[in-house]
Amino acid sequence: MLYLFYLLAAVSILSAVTVVAARSPITSVIALIVCFLSIAGHYILLNAQFLAMVHVIVYTGAILILMLFVIMLLNMNQLVEQRKPLLVRIAAVATGGLFFLVLLAATHQGLSVAPAHFDAGIGLVHTIGTVLFRDYLVPFEVSSVLFLAAMAGAMVLAKKDGTEHVNLPPSSEPGQNA
């Protein structure tokens, strides 16, 4: 069982590095799908069956497919991305590495929690649904308002309206970019 964890961890870390390092956005999205599927495997290993299903449906099924659609609709695979200067790249990697070291140093002692009162049915739909609709009912309802706002905001942002093209130079007409 420990080897299964190591296998899943290696897959998630390698695919996460691929997301950052890949040249083409399509490769990045595919690597991110692999990474999220391995994280769903971690959820199943941790007895969170409901969250594993929701994770696969929401992330892999909706968000990443939406990103693939955007890449294909905007022809982003043909764009050449300019790289940042070497100093900025070194600083970015150093920032990530140092942040990792700080987090490890902050938690390397005193956080060894023993699974004392362990409950196997904690990730089942029944348990999560009971807690969700008993203790977290108001945040659940508020999140529907958030979704409504996000939906309206996305439509307003992505809409082509006639007034905005007046302020733009003729070279940035959307018909010529496609």
Partner 1 sequence: MENVITAIRVVPLGHYFFLCFLLFAIGMAGALLRRNILIVIMCLELMLNSVNLLLVALSAFLGDTGGQVFVFFIMLVAAAEVTVGLAILVQLKRNTDGVDINQLNRLKW
Which of the residues 43 through 102 are near partner 1 (CB under 8 A)? 43-48, 50-51, 54-55, 58-59, 62-63, 66-67, 70-71, 74, 76, 79, 81-84, 88-89, 91-93, 95-97, 99-100
Among 158, 161, 163, 170, binds partner 1 (CB under 8 A): 158
Which of the residues 7 through 26 are near partner 1 (CB under 8 A)? 9, 12-13, 16-17, 19-20, 25
For residue 172 the two structure tokens come to: 């940035």
Distance of alpha carbon 55 from alpha carbon 36, whole angstroms? 8
Residue 77, C-beta contacts closer than 8 angstroms, at least 6 positions apart = 24, 25, 26, 71
Q: How near is the Cβ of 162 to partner 1 at its closest, in Å?
A: 14
Output 5 or 163, the one with its CB closest to partner 1: 5
* 122 binds partner 1, rule: CB under 8 A: yes
User: How many of the chain's residues bind partner 1 (CB under 8 A)?
Assistant: 93
Distance of alpha carbon 154 from alpha carbon 147, whole angstroms? 10
Q: How near is the Cβ of 117 to partner 1 at its closest, in Å?
A: 5
Distance of alpha carbon 42 from alpha carbon 36, whole angstroms? 10
Distance of alpha carbon 15 from alpha carbon 34, whole angstroms? 7
Output 44 or 162, the one with its CB closest to partner 1: 44
Output 118 or 162, the one with its CB closest to partner 1: 118
Classify the C-alpha dihedral 33-31-17-8 as positive or negative.
positive
Among 11, 53, 56, 128, binds partner 1 (CB under 8 A): 128
> For residue 75, with 0-12 CB atoms within 10 Å meaning exposed, 13-18 middle and 19 or more buried, which class applies?
exposed
